[in-house]
Amino acid sequence: MPRQREPGPSEGRKSGSPARPLGIQRRLTPGRTAAAAALRQLGTPYVWGGGSGRGPTRGGFDCSGLALHAWSKAGVRLTHYTGSQFRQGRRVPFSQLRAGDLVFFGGGSGDPTHVGVYLEDGTMVHAPKTGDVVRTVDFAGSSYYRARYRGAVRPSTR
């Protein structure tokens, strides 16, 4: 009997709805640990400047605070600034993205202005903006995010 494939986090749901982290929990790597930690924050409010290694602060997370928190669960310390996080690890081509990689957007020629935690199949979990909550989005399928994509980084676990 052929083995059935488990659905990924982006299958069978509408954009922005909670993801099922089945694919992320196959083999625990630092990246999968970070992705799972970020997914546990789904629904947490966006708060500018919010987030630490321990969890939400000021009642929530901003985008870089969510990334910082997620990677702290994998034992990696990141700064709480998107531009610095963009320089904290090895650049990764889009075709080689893995769960937990940080994906960056916006900022023109300066520092990126937004970061998310990659899941799989072109999806990320992120803290989007004031008035919103931590959610998932198919950024690879979004013309908005594709136009603003700046690159990805795999934080160093050494």
**Is 114 known to be catalytic?**
yes
**Is 126 known to be catalytic?**
yes
Which of 34, 35, 38, 63 is an active site residue? 63
Which of 32, 69, 80, 126 is an active site residue? 126
Q: 68 in helix, strand or coil? A: helix
| Token digits of residue 52 | 């630490």
Which of 69, 114, 135, 150 is an active site residue? 114
CA of 7: how far to CAs of 56, 83, 121, 132, in Å? 29, 34, 11, 27
**Is 69 known to be catalytic?**
no
**Alpha carbon distance 118, 141 (integer Å):** 14
Asked if residue 145 lies in contact with residue 117, where contact means CB atoms within 8 angstroms, the answer is: no
Q: Which residues are catalytic?
A: 63, 114, 126
